[in-house]
Structure 1
Amino acid sequence: MKVWIAHQEGRELLGPQPAGVEVEICADAATLPSDPAEVRFWVPPFSAVGRAADLLAKLTGLRVVQLLSAGADKWAGQVPPGVQLCDASGVHDASVAEWVLGAVIGSLRRFPAFARAQQRHEWAPEAFTPAPELTGKRVLIVGAGSIGRAVEERLAPFEVTVTRVARTARPEQDVHGVGDLPGLLPAAEIVVLLVPLTEQTRGLVDGSFLAALPDGALLVNAARGPVVDTAALLTEVATGRIGAALDVTDPEPLPAGHPLWDLPNVLITPHVGGAVAGLLPRAYRLAGAQLRRFAAGEPLVNRVVDGY
């Protein structure tokens, strides 16, 4: 069985594989290592999405696409019938949760402002009013999946009050449905977005969502850029009433001249929430386990189904 993976180091990271599995490196969709019609299992590089349609047409024997990303929204409609699409849910929990915690603390404690002061060689603590603190805050996690749980675990030492929201309510787990948001937002001092991008979540955070937040609230987007209406966000944060920490934007990348760059109450990072040294080992451990399941005829995990 022929397998294509995206990284040379992935050969070892996959772990032991059954006899008959042939692993090849396909790091660039423009440079194919062998006949694509023979490939049964594909682990594409992160950058493959743009050319995926052209390559998928050549992978006529393909049965599994195992992504390295937790989100599969960019693959919607790309994978032909009969091919299982699986995401890397679970792989990015720790790294994204770390980013969320760092972004929240950095934003509340005004690290970006201090970094700018450092560049100017200014030591002027009197120029800053006492900063808000994370301790005791009311946190609303929109996207109560595995990353949401990882975020909540890391927030626990700060004595916060966490409210969870998912696509559908799960009362037995104290999880609200999206329909409850209007009643929850006015009490939310920090809102963390962790939902996948779907037709239901696109534009979820609009003008009315933002207007319902209390003064001084912080919006943290570690999901996908289009979950937030950028124009509505810009209108709200430009007043200084609320702040934002964004690892994703719409459009992405954010154009150099976009006004969000210059707002002192907005922290922006270039979609690096999952970009840590441990990413590839974790991702390829998952891919290796999936490959062994597939070779043994066992059901795969993390399958992306209709309605993702």
Structure 2
Amino acid sequence: MKKIDIFFGKERSFPEAIIQRINSKQIPDITAEPVLISKVIQGEDSGYSVIIDRISQDVPFYRAFLKNAALCGTAVINNPFWWSADEKFFNNCLAKKINVPVPKTVILPSKSLPDDTTDASFSNLAYPLDWDHIFGYVGFPAYMKPFAGGGWKHVFKLETKDIFFEKYNTTGQLVMLLQEEIVFEEYYRCYCIGRKHVRIMPYEPRNPHHLRYDAHFKPSAEKLQEMTEIVLRVNQYLGYDFNTVELAVRNGIPFAIDFCNPAPDADKQSVGEENFEWVVETAANFAIERAQQQQPGKDNLTWGEYLKRSTTQTKLF
């Protein structure tokens, strides 16, 4: 019997629905249930064929468990090794290389010194930074947000350089991005599952949180195809099997705003009935597919084109 297990935290609607959906299909020798950990011993098989990870980004112990499980043959969605290494600034750098439009973005050192460092630890960092060049490149208004992590925590809209310094001074040890504001006509949040299934959802981030999916943008067939190709390209290079890409359309051009969301919101109350049904059914079918393909004791992880080309001496871009 192959087990598909869901690893989750406080959320309930999506984990419960996907477990029920997989089991309702009555696929021979495949069952679904929540992950349950009573011990983690180095190099020992967890007994899971597939794990859908929705929580390890917040719990380092869980991330270590998943890496051990993956080494023993579990197909973990998403790859815990790549997820540990990835962050939003790298994503933007990669996007530029694969011809995906992104906002002008720079990364900033943390305002406060990291623990166990002193001024002497930063002899390679110019002080002050070349703020004039940075501000001239990004422009104002701009957004500042953490280079790692999700959601809207510690995100600031900045109208001037004086406001920038006021907010930057409050960020402590967070490493921040400073990013051009994209004044958009339309905005979309796009699920991508299995690097092949895409759901493009009109989204209005300026609405209150519970109304953000209450948007009525109507893209043409050509624009839908263009956005689908962008979403697929991003996830194929990153290697994510479950992710969302946010696209802001300015002057007809879709800009990838945020595409490091490997545990995206899939709550029924947030995304709405139709989107919820799509993600549950698509994720369930993909998890079953991965379980059927899983080979015990082998590497069953997904690796993105960026890493695969790096290790095979293939041209990267």
Q: TM-score, normalised by structure 2?
A: 0.35
Q: TM-score, normalised by structure 1?
A: 0.36
> Of the two structures, which has the highest relative contact order with CA contacts closer than 8 Å and spacing of 6 or more?
2
Larger strand proportion of the pair? 2
